Amino acid sequence: MPRLAAVLRGLAVAAAALMTVTTLPSSAQAGAAQRAAPPSKAPKEFVALRAVDPTIIQEMRYFTPHNFLGVPVDGYRRPKCLLTRDAANALHRAQLSFLKRGFSLKVYDCYRPQRAVDHFVRWAKDLDDQRMKAEFYPQEDKTKLFDDGYIAAKSGHSRGSTLDVTLVRLPAVPTRPYVPGEPLTPCYGPRAERFPDNSLDMGTGFDCFDTLAHTLDPRIHGRQLRNRLLLKNGLERAGFVNLPEEWWHYTFKPETFPDTYFDFPVR
């Protein structure tokens, strides 16, 4: 009997421990729960880029219809760049260096709500909507956007430390507004034939779904390559890492939120 009692007590202790494990989430489980249900408002670690550096030009494309969808994107209620404070401070440091050389950074996109990414996914599945194909993906079959990596269900932009950026020679001449329905030209065409942009000639336009947009594509040379490397080297010195498939895409490392995808709107 004493031995049986000891066994029963051991089983009771084990059962209690199991109940504790299954009913009280571990820190990892809590972190997963946080990632599954991100806050609806920006955490205190996010800032408006303009408050950190008002000299950086902002041309927030997804607030406008001049993007590969052809309509303003869900979640962009203001044409504003939001970033984690670490990323914004690093971009400010890079800007100071570029200003000394007669250039300014220009951002096309910064923090991107998950609802915007969901909008991209819905658009990619709608094969009948190809209104912007002639500019942004002239040679890309829309049925292959997911397989080729141009569209994904998650984006590093939603973590707050990734941005799409280029360089503008000073003094900057404003880019003319896009007129919905106007004739479109390929994003990889000669600079004089592409949609006008006040940025340096990088060989393609922003959001060009083509391998020519790969940062070190061997077909890019001369001034276009020098411009890409000018941007790349300056941002790398400030702590940013380039996505090789997109000359405009950079992430500040280490990320403030490496595992959290936020969905609060840009407002």
- Scored b (16 or more CB within 10 A) or e, 214-248 reads bbebeebeeebbebbebbbebbeebbbbbeeebbb
Report the half-sphere exposure of 253 (CA within 13 A, side-chain side).
Answer: 9
Neighbours of 116 (CB within 10 A): 24
Beta strand residue intervals within 7-136, DSSP E: 46-48, 57-58, 82-84, 103-109
d(CA 128, CA 206): 23
Determine the length of the chain: 267
Catalogue the active-site residues.
246
- With beta carbons less than 8 A apart as the criterion, state whether 107 and 98 touch: no
**Cis peptide upstream of residue 183 (ω within 30 degrees of 0):** no
d(CA 30, CA 28): 5
Listed residue (85, 91, 119) closest to 104, CA to CA: 91
